[in-house]
Structure 1
Amino acid sequence: MKFKTLSIVALATLLVSASSYGFDKDHPVLKFSKSQGPYSELFISGVQPILEKEGYKVEGIDMSDLLQADLALNDGEVDFNVEQHTAYAKNFNASQDGHLVTLTPIPTVPAGIYPGSKTALDSVADGDVIAIPNDASNTARAYNILAKIGWIELDKSVDPSKVTKEDIVKNPKNLEFVEMKSLNIPAVASDFAFVVITGSVVYNAKIDPSTVLAQEDVAEHLLLQLVVHEKNKDAIWAQDIKKAYQSAEFKEYLDKNNNGLWFVPKY
């Protein structure tokens, strides 16, 4: 009798666990835009196994860049991607007549100040030259980090997500800023006193994340997101991917595999 009771409890527990995922029998194959960056790799290693245990088959479709990935998602060639933050998705929708929506924030690699020819923040000197990413959203992130550590002061009347070099109101050390393509910064880091590098570049350049000298406070609009087409936001399969990212199993994976690279949002 005791054995039967335990069996019933175990079965009930299993059913509760299983019911947390719907498994969409009408959409058993999930296609996503795959990149060479950390976010696709994190999905493949940490989230895909969870979905496969639920019965889904997952296919990664290689994409050359995020614009191509979003166009494919908007046209229905893939089901989702995990390579962008809310700000980028909004810009895509506005410029490309897109219909993309975000379902949940996902672990994000913060931008940070890394060593160039100098390895300590307190060694900054008058006239030091700092490399800065030149794309709009990451340029703003870089100047916000420099303001955070007190090297510059920004015009408080300007939206922090849109600040540029022109919005610097105080620069007591007369620092110089060279804005350049993010991907090129690691290769020329020693030409600068310090460099600001974004998360995916840190990962792809195989830079030790523990060498970061200062990191951004990741703003909500810069958290990476699970993104789908608007028409699929309530689909069973889309909600199952969301649940996988927010699951205890994925949290356990991150606890074992986060060497300081990832900022993990709270769900």
Structure 2
Amino acid sequence: MIRKFLKTTIASLLIITSAIGLSACGSKNSSDSSEKKEIKLGVSPGPYNDLFNAGVKPILEKEGYKVNLVNFSELLSSEVALTEGSVDFNVAQHNAYVKAYNKEKKANLVSIIKIPTVRAGIFSNKHKSMSEVKQGDKVFIPKDPSNAARAYALLEKAGWIKIKSGVVKTLATQKDIVENKNNIKIIEMDSSQIPRSMNEADYAVLPGAIEYMAKIDASKALISETLSDDLYITVAVDGKNKNAKWAQDIIKAYKSQDFKNYIKTHNSKGYWVLPDDLK
């Protein structure tokens, strides 16, 4: 009887010990995920990854982080990787894009901080003023939905078109134009082709990233967009990681004095527009 009792007691203790061990292991893994020191950045072409690598990555490295760069040919692939968890964050999309992506893909990406952004602008190799516009002038704009909407909002700001009342500006399309007093010919094309095609147009709308990569002087813009909160570029993470220590440390790095000093010494051409909480 005593022997049977001892066997039962020992077996129970072993089960309890194993459960505690597994629980501890699970807690440790959860902690490791939140407090890990090796993080992956999804990199797609554009200036915002360059800014991170030069101005933010060194700050994180001083805090003991190792940042691994995972390259993608375009932003969408980076977003998919972020959704699937093969990268931890990226720094190349505005919040309007994040919202649209989440809706389309049923994802849960979250923008955790707005970062310095290059504004879209209207440029011309033929004209020195917006007032020189004439009937039938040809205007090139980006064809991807996000940047096209920004272009239409900018053309409305210039007074050249009117967009239908009630249309969300970040979702506007050519079909939403209700007035075009100069009958300008708006031609949508791949944004990367616009800089090399500008001599064929009277005016061209350049997204900030394209303007930066083509090394076009930002001060030459005849008019620049007004950045709403949703149009600042952001750091995006999966929603489940927004409070992770590494995510919070990325926020701290962007808000640090070291980063502010970097921007002050690397913005002589006026590319970067800072959100209020980074000024």
Task: Mark yes or no: TM-score above 0.5.
Answer: yes
Residue 48 of structure 1 corresponds to 57
Structure with the higher fraction of residues in helix conformation: 2
- With normalisation by structure 2, the TM-score equals 0.83
In structure 2, stretches of 5+ residues that fail to align are 1-32
1:36 Cα deviation from its structure 2 partner? 2.8
Give the secondary structure class of the aligned counterpart of 1:185: helix
Residue identity matched to 2:237? V
Tell me if structure 1 keeps the 8 A contact 2:108–2:238: yes
1:25 Cα deviation from its structure 2 partner? 9.3
Give the secondary structure class of the aligned counterpart of 1:30: strand
Residue 136 of structure 1 corresponds to 145
Q: Does 2:236 correspond to 1:195?
A: no
Residue 96 of structure 1 corresponds to 105
- CA–CA separation in structure 2 for the residues paired with 1:266 and 1:242: 14
Distance change (3 Å), C-alpha of 1:25 and 1:66: closer
Q: Does 2:199 correspond to 1:207?
A: no
Residue 115 of structure 1 corresponds to 124
1:169 Cα deviation from its structure 2 partner? 2.4
Q: Does 2:236 correspond to 1:227?
A: yes
With 228-237 and 170-179 compared, the bigger mean Cα shift is at 170-179
- CA–CA separation in structure 1 for the residues paired with 2:61 and 2:225: 35
1:115 Cα deviation from its structure 2 partner? 0.9
Among residues 252, 256, 260, which one is paired with 1:251 in the alignment? 260
- With normalisation by structure 1, the TM-score equals 0.87
Residue 26 of structure 2 corresponds to none
With 187-196 and 140-149 compared, the bigger mean Cα shift is at 140-149
Tell me if structure 2 keeps the 8 A contact 1:39–1:82: yes
Give the secondary structure class of the aligned counterpart of 1:58: strand
Q: Does 2:252 correspond to 1:238?
A: no
Residue 82 of structure 2 corresponds to 73
Residue 263 of structure 1 corresponds to 273
Give the secondary structure class of the aligned counterpart of 2:68: strand
Residue 71 of structure 2 corresponds to 62
Detail structure 1 runs of 4+ shifted over 3 Å in the superposition: none
Tell me if structure 1 keeps the 8 A contact 2:96–2:170: no
| Largest Rg, 1 or 2 | 2
Give the secondary structure class of the aligned counterpart of 1:207: coil
Q: How many residue pairs get matched?
A: 244
- CA–CA separation in structure 2 for the residues paired with 1:25 and 1:231: 10
Residue 153 of structure 1 corresponds to 162
Give the secondary structure class of the aligned counterpart of 1:101: strand
Residue identity matched to 1:220? D
With 222-231 and 40-49 compared, the bigger mean Cα shift is at 222-231
- CA–CA separation in structure 2 for the residues paired with 1:206 and 1:139: 21
Give the share of equivalent positions with the same residue, in percent. 43
Tell me if structure 2 keeps the 8 A contact 1:117–1:191: no
With 89-98 and 24-33 compared, the bigger mean Cα shift is at 24-33
- CA–CA separation in structure 2 for the residues paired with 1:194 and 1:221: 26
CA RMSD of aligned residues (A): 1.6
Distance change (3 Å), C-alpha of 1:26 and 1:158: closer
Distance change (3 Å), C-alpha of 1:36 and 1:158: closer
- CA–CA separation in structure 1 for the residues paired with 2:44 and 2:167: 33
1:141 Cα deviation from its structure 2 partner? 0.9
Tell me if structure 2 keeps the 8 A contact 1:108–1:263: yes
- CA–CA separation in structure 2 for the residues paired with 1:260 and 1:233: 31
Give the secondary structure class of the aligned counterpart of 1:36: coil
Give the secondary structure class of the aligned counterpart of 2:126: coil
Give the secondary structure class of the aligned counterpart of 2:117: coil
- CA–CA separation in structure 2 for the residues paired with 1:242 and 1:26: 15
- CA–CA separation in structure 2 for the residues paired with 1:25 and 1:201: 35
Tell me if structure 2 keeps the 8 A contact 1:232–1:238: yes
Residue identity matched to 1:264? L
Tell me if structure 1 keeps the 8 A contact 2:41–2:90: yes
Tell me if structure 2 keeps the 8 A contact 1:116–1:191: no
Residue 184 of structure 2 corresponds to 175
1:31 Cα deviation from its structure 2 partner? 1.1
Q: Deviations over 1:38-93 (max 9, x none)?
A: 00000000111111111111111111111110111111111110011112112222
